[in-house]
A and B are shown apart, each in its own frame.
Chain A
């Protein structure tokens, strides 16, 4: 084998997260990023779900509990407002529903094949505590 310098080495399995220069990623949201095809953002785990979260913005107080505790970066918040769920990356764990503090909840789990509009129309009423 030839004696190669560092710069001649094969790079092995090096994956780029972005195409071209990637500066200030920490302050650039997903919609403005130039993801490369090897970034898992371009993949989907939607088929992992049996149940999906449905978001009802009428009751949401933008507390962001769902945003901080979603393990899959799937709660989309912009300008301090919760605006929806990223259905390509949500695994349907249900944590967001559990931590949502409103009454009724602003996020609820439904069967994956359930229609979102129907789900919203069926939304439960405010629960009153029994005395």
Chain B
């Protein structure tokens, strides 16, 4: 078993040598890249990576360039997870037969957007988790199909204006609530699932390292603020992310062995959901008189969820 990388504080962490390169084509201020850096820098072990079709994939593998300093594969929209699962299964088989040239245990990680995880790649991920591959699936959750022009996914929240659920005179935009993927993946009996956010880097590293140590398929839902589709200025990515975690719209928590839930971040000052919504163009229409009731409903939903998470944590279930 390889050693866990020691990351006591940010200064120590900053001695890491990135295995993800610049001059990729992600938008200025894109949180995807911040998340990828935090995940890859959480270990010094070898990495076997994949990306499903999506912003991360199209922007980091533009022929004749690659932005990845580790083994990386892309096949299709749906099968980023199974590509890595296949590599993991092969590694296990070769190891068992004593045919590995070097006896090193790489980390297997698949990256995918919410579209490729919540919708298109869902049954493939479910298959990987049911078969119990020793891998980590990281969702870069920007709540929309950003790569193809901002169509809604099953992660798009109520009231958000997306190109296939636009807000206008007779509609407030997306009508369905965001799918609870963490609960679904925990129900697969996964040893570790967690919701993380790049602005809470320490929390994130802890979750990723916990995930790397776990035996079996690990699911990470990483909030990825999207300057283009959420409609905010590129320099505000971290400020928007702070609003998301501190308003509890994105509560940070983990579920161990499909059962034990822990809240991993408690904001000192909880900010109103309204502030989070007001900072983004995709929710602009909610501030018109006719739709203001949705903000109130949203706050109620967030309060209810937080209450539920706390009760589960307390009951240790």
Contacts and interface: CB of A to CB of B under 8 A. Distances in A.
A73 B237 contact: no
A19 interface: no
Interface stretch (B7-15, B112-120, B254-262, B309-317): B7-15
Interface string B153-196: 00000000000000000000000000000000000000000000
Interface stretch (B16-24, B79-87, B291-299): B16-24
Output the residue of A18, A63, A82 with the most chain B CB within 10 A. Answer: A63
Interface string B25-42: 110111111100110000
B14 A64 contact: yes
B136 to A, nearest CB: 17
B21 A13 contact: no
Given A67-B14, A71-B31, A73-B18, A93 B67 contact: no
A80 interface: yes
Given A25-B17, A27-B44, A98 B22 contact: no
A30 B64 contact: no
Interface in A52-96: 62-65, 67-74, 77-80, 82, 86, 88-95
B23 A25 contact: no
Interface string A1-30: 000000000000101011000100111111
B201 interface: yes
Nearest to B33: A71
A18 B69 CA distance: 8
A123 interface: no
B45 interface: yes
A89 B23 contact: yes
Given A41-B23, A94-B29, A25 B234 contact: no
Nearest to B202: A68
Output the residue of A22, A42, A71 with the most chain B CB within 10 A. Answer: A71
Nearest to B233: A94
A1 to B, nearest CB: 22
B237 A93 contact: yes
Contact of A99 (B17, B30, B238): B238
Interface in B30-72: 30-34, 37-38, 43-45, 60-70
Interface string A37-51: 111111111001000
A39 B17 contact: no
B28 A92 contact: yes
Nearest to A46: B23
A74 B16 CA distance: 13
B29 to A, nearest CB: 4
Nearest to B47: A26
A30 B17 contact: yes
A64 B13 contact: yes
B307 interface: no
B20 A73 contact: yes
A76 to B, nearest CB: 10
Contacts of B15: 77-80
A26 B45 contact: yes
Contact of B238 (A33, A45, A69, A92): A69
Contacts of A65: 10
B69 A40 contact: no
Contacts of A71: 26, 28-34, 37, 237
Interface in B232-259: 233-239
A99 B201 CA distance: 13
A13 B63 CA distance: 8
Given A68-B38, A93-B235, A38 B12 contact: no
Contacts of A62: 11
Given A62-B11, A71-B34, 7 more contacts: A25-B70, A68-B201, A72-B28, A77-B14, A80-B12, A88-B22, A93-B29
11 contacts: A39-B67, A40-B67, A65-B10, A68-B34, A69-B34, A69-B198, A80-B14, A88-B22, A93-B28, A93-B29, A98-B239
Interface of B: 10-26, 28-34, 37-38, 43-45, 60-70, 198-199, 201, 233-239
